[in-house]
Amino acid sequence: MNDFRADLHCHTTCSDGTATPRELIQLACTIGLKGLSITDHDTIEAYQEATPAAAEKNLPLVPGLELSTVHKKASIHVLAYSFALDSCPIREFCMQQRERRENRNRMILDLLAARGMPLSAGDFREGDLSAQSQRSFGRPHIAMAMIRKGYVTSLQQAFQEYIGEGKPCYAPGNRFSVEETIDIIHQGRGLAVIAHPHLIENVAIVKDLLSMDFDGIEGYYARFPRSEQERWVKIGARKGWLITGGSDYHGEIKPHIPLGSSWVGEDIFNTLQQHYKGNLST
Ligand code: AMP
Ligand code: ZN
Ligand code: FE
Ligand code: FE
């Protein structure tokens, strides 16, 4: 029996996950994964530590990234895979995303302060105040700081009452369009994949995304039952796209989603790996 499983969607402490890149690699080996792609939000910083850690353990690792975009005012996540880690278009885009995040985090902090819940940048950036930091800080970090300050008692409460989409302290910030994001991924010779279509409620938005120049769709996601996955797998197959999958593991902040809860087999992982190797030899 072929027991090859590769998880293509997970987060580390370089964005809003709680495992360090090295811990994540160790965990992947412990649970028997045969391949991995780390897809932090808007940063590839994890690969600095993860690449040597994976090499030590002989765990094949394919570059990945989860980019924040907007379409018709809805927040849409786009996955990028198999680009070279030194790709200038991808690195430049991550830098722009970091600037956007900083401005947007500031807007959220202002809204919280106006409601009597002041937080300093140091409160939520866990002491990492360097302007050169390539980590992505966002709402989960703000939520955790709100818990530490005693403003809320849980991450869910922070999102539901204050910083979730449409709540009083939410700020969307200027996000990039899906189309320009796909374009940048292709400039960086990566593959662009629709992230977790299962979570998109607006049918018109799904239709728009399916008409765009994607290379794949995340058919297998988190702990969704097989019956709900099939719909997306069929759509992807009809389009001739790659059908990717992964857990969206975040560690302790989302303890109900374990690493490896969704995965892909050897064929898809090899395809991503071959594409990556092709980028290295050019
Ligand atoms: P940001 O990238 O700063 O907009 O934060 C988005 C991240 O916050 C998502 O990727 C999730 O990890 C997390 N998130 C979004 N909505 C919620 C929610 N309602 N409850 C808990 N976490 C959430
Ligand atoms: Zn996240
Ligand atoms: Fe996402
Ligand atoms: Fe994710």
Report pLDDT for 225.
Answer: 83
Measured from the CA of 66, which atom of ligand 1 is nearest?
10
Which of 107, 139, 176, 250, when mutated, tests ligand 1's pocket best, judged by the most ligand atoms within 8 Å of its CB? 139
Name the residue at shortest CA distance from atom 6 of ligand 1.
139
Distance 38 CA to ligand 3 centre (A): 12
Tokens at residue 60, please?
A: 């094949």
Report pLDDT for 228.
Answer: 83
Per-residue pLDDT of 122-162, as tens digits, reads 899 887 878 778 999 999 999 999 999 999 999 999 999 99
Distance 79 CA to ligand 4 centre (A): 9
How far is the C-alpha of 42 from the C-alpha of 134, rounded, in Å?
Answer: 9
61 backbone dihedrals φ, ψ, rounded to 5°:
-130, 130
Per-residue pLDDT of 42-86, as tens digits, reads 999 999 999 999 999 999 999 999 999 999 999 999 999 999 999
Q: What band does 102 get if pLDDT is binned at 50, 70 and 90?
A: very high
How would DSSP label each residue in 159-180?
Answer: IIIIISTTSTT-----PEEHHH
Distance 116 CA to ligand 4 centre (A): 31
Q: What band does 282 get if pLDDT is binned at 50, 70 and 90?
A: low
Q: Which residues line ligand 1 (CB under 6 A)?
A: 16, 41, 68, 138-140, 155-156, 159, 164, 250
Name the residue at shortest CA distance from atom 3 of ligand 1.
138
Per-residue pLDDT of 4-56, as tens digits, reads 999 999 999 999 999 999 999 999 999 999 999 999 999 999 999 999 999 99
Task: Kindly state the average pLDDT of the residues 204-230.
Answer: 94
Task: Kindly state the average pLDDT of the residues 182-202.
Answer: 97
Distance 282 CA to ligand 1 centre (A): 37
Report pLDDT for 174.
Answer: 77
Q: Are 196 and 248 in contact (CB under 8 A)?
A: yes
Say if strands 74-81 and 191-194 run parallel, antiparallel, or are unpaired: antiparallel
How far is the C-alpha of 118 from the C-alpha of 56, rounded, in Å?
Answer: 44
